[in-house]
Amino acid sequence: MNPSPTRFAALTQTQLENWVGQARVYALTGRLPDYIPLLAQAEAQRVAVAIRSLDGHGYFAGERDQPFALMSVVKPLLLLFLLETSGWDAVFDRVGIDPSEQSFHSLAQLNVDRGFPRNPMLNSGAIALAAMLPGAKGADRCEALRVWLNQASGSRFVLDQAMLASVRSLRNEANRAIAEVLLRAESIDHVETALDTYNHICCLSGTAADLAQVGLLLAQPNAPTQPVHQRAVNALMLTCGLYEASGRFAVRIGLPTKSGVSGALLSIVPGQGAIACYSPTLDATGNSIAGLFLLEQLTQTLNLSVFG
Ligand SMILES: NC(=O)CC[C@H](N)C(=O)O
């Protein structure tokens, strides 16, 4: 059976390359994060975009072989894995489903919520969920997630050891304070292991093609993942994936989207495919400037919004 063409079929290579060219200019208006030394050294004008469509096509432009760490883009993937392996109740006993107006590493939000993370797209939620991964140590737990992601999707994520060393080289007081509140609320049972696991999974790394590929787990009706889990992850990406800017981009882009502080961005186009962008400079919220620009061009031109 030949799957019917998707909305991406209208895309031309010239169009995609033109947008990447414009995106490189926008990238200069953003800032590199300064709290992870290797991310601070990234080349500001690197831009990559990869699209995988459900009819089996791939569309690529920019530095397609450039690997990058997923950072917070791992959060929806962690959530999907745990929903599939531990089940709905175990996951949502540990983390909420409501959006937050606070930044991704907000301790104030966690304190207001008495140690119950508001959603899985915040650091607090992901640190609490990372503690559910099977295995004794951060490295084993990360490996369990990595192997599952690669087997389920055919992507080829690896652990970026240099990035992990860089993450560890500066103490992240915000994440540590979050983990201590989680410990007191009995959401995690060990601060060091939970942080170490979280740091490991943030350093899973791949190309834009790998990221788009894994996105198909959330886009296709007969993926190896359960539709009810896909729906939950997509809804949380739409409402919480771009942190406090999520509402605005739900209107402007209209796709479940998750960003990471490395400049990674993943958007799901349910029933059509997945889009991955990479460009390391960020806006004030911590979202990739050029990545969001590319997504806006794609969604508006190809009419990709889930809201029609
Ligand atoms: N927004 C992000 O990508 C956050 C991930 C990063 N490792 C941190 O904890 O700060």
125 lines ligand 1 (CB under 6 A): no
pLDDT at 3: 75
71 lines ligand 1 (CB under 6 A): yes
What pTM was estimated for this model as a whole? 0.97
Average pLDDT along the chain, 308 residues, taken 10 residues at a time? 82 98 97 97 97 97 97 98 98 97 94 96 98 97 98 98 98 97 96 98 98 97 91 98 95 97 98 97 96 97 95
ipTM: 0.95
167 CA: nearest ligand 1 atom: 7
DSSP state, residue 48: E
Residue to probe by mutation, ligand 1, list 261, 266, 285, most atoms within 8 Å of CB: 261
pLDDT tens-digit readout, 95-132: 999 999 999 999 999 999 999 999 999 999 999 999 99
pLDDT tens-digit readout, 197-224: 999 999 999 999 999 999 999 999 888 9
Residue 222 half-sphere exposure, CB side, CA atoms within 13 Å?
Answer: 2
187 lines ligand 1 (CB under 6 A): no
105 lines ligand 1 (CB under 6 A): yes
195 lines ligand 1 (CB under 6 A): no
Q: State in Å: Cα 122 to ligand 1 middle.
A: 9
Delineate the domains of the chain, giving CATH numbers in brackets. 7-64+207-302 (3.40.710.10), 72-204 (3.40.710.10)
pLDDT at 4: 85
pLDDT at 1: 42
Q: State in Å: Cα 169 to ligand 1 middle.
A: 14
- Helices 191-202 and 173-184, packing angle to 10 deg: 130
* List of residues 6+ apart from 2 with CB closer than 8 A: 55
Angle CA 131–137–139, to nearest 5: 100
